[in-house]
Structure 1
Amino acid sequence: MKLHQSKVDHLNQITAYDHESIHVNQERYAGSLLVLPDAVHSWRPTQFSDLTEDDFASLLQYQPELVLLGTGANIQFPHPKLYAALSAKLIGVDVMGTGALCRTFNVLVAEERRVLALILHK
Structure 2
Amino acid sequence: MKLTEMHFSEAQPVESYGAGFFKIGGQRVEGGMLVANESVQSWAGYEEIESLLALQGRVDVIFVGTGAEITHLPADMRQKIEQAGMGIEVMNSPSACRTYNVLAAEGRRVALAALPV
Unaligned residue ranges in structure 1 (runs of 5+): 46-50
- Identity percentage of aligned residues: 30
Q: What TM-score, normalized to structure 2?
A: 0.86
- Alignment pair present for 1:116 and 2:111: yes
Q: 2:99 is matched with which residue: 100, 104, 107?
A: 104
Aligned residues: 115
How is 1:1-122 mapped onto 2 (pairs within 5 angstroms)? 1-45=1-45, 51-52=46-47, 55-63=48-56, 64-121=59-116
Query: Alpha carbons of 1:90 and 1:9: their partners in 2 closer, same or farther (altered >3 Å)?
Result: closer
Post-superposition shift, 1:57? Answer: 4.4
Whichever residue aligns with residue 4 of structure 2, its letter is H
Kept in 2: contact 1:22–1:29 (CA 8 A)? yes
Unaligned residue ranges in structure 2 (runs of 5+): none
2:25, 2:112 → 1: CA distance? Answer: 15
Whichever residue aligns with residue 117 of structure 1, its letter is L
2:27, 2:4 → 1: CA distance? Answer: 15
Query: Alpha carbons of 1:10 and 1:92: their partners in 2 closer, same or farther (altered >3 Å)?
Result: closer
Post-superposition shift, 1:67? Answer: 0.8
Comparing 100-109 with 17-26, greater Cα deviation is found at 17-26
1:89, 1:25 → 2: CA distance? Answer: 28
Post-superposition shift, 1:9? Answer: 5.0
Q: Give the corresponding residue for 1:48.
A: none
Post-superposition shift, 1:110? Answer: 0.9
Whichever residue aligns with residue 23 of structure 1, its letter is K
1:101, 1:108 → 2: CA distance? Answer: 11
